[in-house]
Structure 1
Amino acid sequence: MPRYTSRDNVIYANFGAKRHNPQQRAAAAEKQHEDREWLSTVSRFIVDSVERDTDPGRKQRGRDYAREDRVTLLSYSENLISAQVRGSRPEPFEVQLRFAPIARHDQRELWDYLVSLPDYLPAFLRGELDRRAQRLLGFSDPRSITSSCECPDPNPVCKHIVAVAHAAAAEISRRSSRIFDLRGWDPQEIEAAVKRRVKENAAANAPAERGKDTARSGTPDEPAAAAESSRSSAQKRQQQVDATAFWQGGELPSLPDPQVEPALDDSDLSLLHIAMRSVSYTSIDELRAITDIEDMYYFLTHNEGSSSPDSP
C-alpha cells in the first residue's frame, strides 16, 4: 500500500490502491485456458472463431453463462446450431450459429481421402480429425461461422453467443457424432459408403494386376518355345545400340513448366499414417505427430525466403 509522509508529519495512505501480484496475473491467464485442454479440434475452432469478434468482458460473461447452465434447448441441424440462453429478462434469448456449407469439390476430396486411408476411418468417425479432414469438413476458416442473437446488445458477438459456443464446444467434445449432425451426415452411412468404395476399388484393380502377371509369364496357351523366342528377340534388340546416338545424343525436348502443387497433397499420406502409427501409443498421438509434420512443412515452405510452395 503506497504511503506518503508530508512535512507536517501527516501520513497519506491510498487504501483503494490495487495490489498487482505477478503470480495472481499468471494464475488468471492460466485460468482462461484451463477449460480448453480437453476440447476437441472442432470445439476449439468454434470457440476461437466466435470469441475473436468480441471483447474480454463479453467473453468472460459468456463463459460464466455456459458454466451456470444458462444455455438450454441446444440443438444441431445441417450447418446450424441453435439454443436458448437465459439472460436478464424472463424470456430466454434465441441464439444461432450458422456454418457455411461444404463445397461439392471438398466433399468429393474428403471421400477420396477416406477411401485412400481406410485405416483412418475409425478415428475420423470418432471425431479425431487431422488437418486435411478438418479443412475439408469446413472447420478451418473462422469466417465460415456467422451468429445472431435476439438480445439488444449492438455488438456483433454478445455474451449469449459466446455462451452457446462454449456449451456446443463442450458437447461436441463429449459426443463426436455432433460433428456429423452439424453437417447433416449419418456416421453409419459414411462408414458403409467408404467401405463400399474401398471394395469397388479393390475389385477394379484386381483384373489389372492379373493382366500384368499374365503378361509377364505369357498366356496359358502360348507354347514354351514361342515364349522363349520372343524373350530372346527382345534381348537382341536391346543390345543393338547406335554408337553415334549414344555418344553424341540428340536434340533435347524443352523443359516442361509444371504446375506447383503442395507436396503433402500429392504424397501418399497412408504411408505417413503407417509410419507414425508404429511410434505412437494412441491414434490421437498419431494425428498430433502428423499435424506437427504438416506445421513444419508449412513453416519451411511459407517463410520469407521461399520462392514457391515447394521450394527448399
Structure 2
Amino acid sequence: MAESDRPGKQGRQRPKDGNVIYANFGNRTRVTGSDDAPRAPRRTRPAFVPGAARLLDAVTRLTDQGRVTRGRQYAAAGHVVGLEVANGRVHGQVAGSQNEPFNVAIQLPYRSTDDIAKVTDRLARTTNGLRRARSGDVADELLDILLAEDPSDIRFSCDCPDSAVVCKHAVAVVEKLAAKMDADSALLFQLRGLDLGRLEQAVSEQAKIVSRESEDDTELFWSGHPLPDLPDPKVAPALDDSDLDLLHKAMRAVSYTSIDQLRAVSDIEDIYDHLTR
C-alpha cells in the first residue's frame, strides 16, 4: 500500500495545502484586520473658559497644525519662561535651541475709553453679570471688546527665524496664557487694564443708573428685570463651629453644680439636633 494511502494516526489524515502540512504550524486562524482592532480612545483637550478658548482658536486659525502641535509641546514641557500681561498686549519668552530665549509679543486691537465703558454697562445690565464674569463665563459680545472679534485683528510677532504669521513660540505663549486665564478669570480683564475690584464698584454705580432708567420705563416698571440668584451660604453645624468652653462658661452662671452644667449643655445640644434635623 502506498504511504499516501495509509491512514494516519487514529484513522485521520493531516490537512494539507500544496506541500504545506498545517500540523506543523497549527490550524489556520483569522487575523484581525486593522479596521477591526480596538482603537485607543482619542484624547480630548479639557474645556477652557470662553476667553481662553477664543485665544486658542485664534492661533489655530492663523497657523498650520504642525506649528500648533509643536507649540503645545513647548508649553507642556515648560519652555515658556516669561509671561507679562499689559494693557492691550502680552509679552512672553520661550526657551528654544538658542542660548537666549525668543521674545514673543501679542498685540490686541485698539479699544477706546468708550469701548471699555461698554463692558461696565453690559455687566450692569446683565443678571449676575459680574458674578458670571468672575467665574470666567463672559458673553461673546464682551469678548469682542476685551479680545477681538476677528482672529486676524490680533497681531503676533516673534524674533525667531520663522517668518510665519504665528510661529510655534507664539502658540506656546498663548497656551500658557490660556491656562492662566482658565485658572484666574481676572486676567481677561487685566488685558484691557481693568481691575475686577474697581470694575465691581463701577458696575454697582452703573446698576443704579439702570435702575433709575427702568423707573421711567413703563414696561420695565411692570415686568422688571430678572432677579439675581439667591446667595448660597456655607452650611455647617453651629455647635461644631462654636467654642464649647464659652458655652460651659455661660452655663456656670445658671448652674449650681458641675453636674447641672453638663446636663444643661447636653440639653442644648439635644434641642439643637432636634431643631436642625
TM-score for both structures, normalised by structure 1? 0.54
Aligned pair partner of 1:164 in 173, 176, 195 = 173
Segments of structure 1 that go 5 or more residues without pairing to the other structure are 1-19, 210-267, 279-312
Name the SS for the 1:52 alignment partner: helix
What is the alpha-carbon distance in structure 1 between the residues aligned to residue 37 and residue 83 of structure 2?
35
Cα RMSD (Å): 3.2
1:111-140 deviation line (CA, Å, top 9, x unaligned)? 322222252221123321122322232343
Query: How many Å separate the matches in 2 of 1:23 and 1:174?
Result: 41
The reply on whether 1:68 has 2:81 as its aligned counterpart is no
- Measure the CA separation in 2 of the matches of 1:25 and 1:102: 52
Partner AA of 1:101 in structure 2:
Y
- Counterpart amino acid of residue 163 in structure 1: A
Gap runs ≥5 in structure 2: 1-32, 218-222, 231-277
Residue 56 (structure 1) shift: 1.7
Cα-to-partner distance string for 1:203-230 (whole Å, 9 max, x where unaligned): 5766x69xxxxxxxxxxxxxxxxxxxxx
Q: Give 1:115's aligned residue.
A: 124
- CA distance 1:197–1:55, change in 2 (3 Å): closer
The alpha-carbon deviation at position 22 of structure 1 amounts to: 5.8
Aligned pair partner of 1:154 in 154, 159, 163: 163
Match of 1:194 among 195, 203, 224: 203
Query: Contact 1:101/1:138 (CA < 8 Å) preserved in 2?
Result: no
2:146–2:189: 8 Å Cα contact kept in structure 1? no
Equivalent residue, structure 2, for 1:10: none
Deviations 1:99-118 (A, max 9, x none): 11224553343332222225
Take 1:64 and 1:150, find their aligned partners in 2: how far apart are those partners?
19
Asked if the contact 2:121–2:206 (Cα under 8 Å) also holds between the matched residues in 1, the reply is: no
Equivalent pairs, count: 193
Query: Cα 1:79–1:61, aligned 2, differ >3 Å: closer, same or farther?
Result: same
Distance 2:125 2:37 in 1: 50
Give the conservation status (yes or no) of the 8 Å contact 2:93–2:104: yes
| Aligned 8 A contact 1:96 1:148 in 2 | yes
CA distance in 2, matches of 1:152, 1:59: 17
Choose from 107, 110, 120 the match for 1:101: 110
Following the alignment from structure 1 to structure 2, what is the Cα–Cα distance between the partners of residues 51 and 136?
Answer: 20
Give me the whole-angstrom Cα distance separating, in 2, the residues matched to 1:62 and 1:191: 36
CA 1:136–1:25: 2 relative to 1, 3 Å = farther
Question: The residue matched to 2:128 in structure 1 has which SS?
Answer: helix
SS of the equivalent of 1:191 reads helix
TM-score (structure 2 length as normaliser): 0.61
Name which one, 1 or 2, has greater alpha-carbon Rg: 2
Query: 1-side partners of 2:208 and 2:165: how far apart?
Result: 49
Quote the Cα distance in structure 2 between the aligned partners of 1:114 and 1:205.
16
Matches of residues 1-312 of structure 1 in structure 2 within 5 Å? Answer: 21=34, 30-31=42-43, 34-35=44-45, 37-202=46-211, 271=226
CA contact (8 A) 1:62 1:161 kept: yes
Alpha-carbon distance in 1 for matches of 2:36, 2:224: 45
Change (3 A) 1:124 1:148: same
Aligned mates of 1:125, 1:96 — CA distance in 2: 26
The one-letter code matched in structure 2 to 1:167 is K
Deviations 1:268-294 (A, max 9, x none): 9954x97xx79xxxxxxxxxxxxxxxx
Question: CA offset at residue 83 of structure 1?
Answer: 0.9
Q: Percent identity?
A: 29
Per the alignment, do residues 270 and 158 of structure 1 end up closer, same or farther by CA in structure 2, a change over 3 Å counting? farther
Deviation per CA, 1:45-67, whole angstroms, max 9, x where unpaired? 11111121222211111110000
Q: Secondary structure of 1:90's partner?
A: coil
In the alignment, the residues of structure 1 paired with residue 89 and residue 166 of structure 2 have an alpha-carbon distance, to the nearest angstrom, of 16
Alpha carbons 1:42, 1:139 under 8 Å: kept: no
- Looking at structure 2, the residues matched to 269 and 51 of structure 1 have their Cα atoms a distance apart, in angstroms, of 43
State the shift of 1:192 in Å. Answer: 0.2
Counterpart Cα distance in 2 of 1:21 and 1:99: 47
Give the distance between the partners of 2:164 and 2:37, measured in 1 at CA. 30
- Farther-moved stretch of structure 1 (37-46 vs 113-122): 113-122
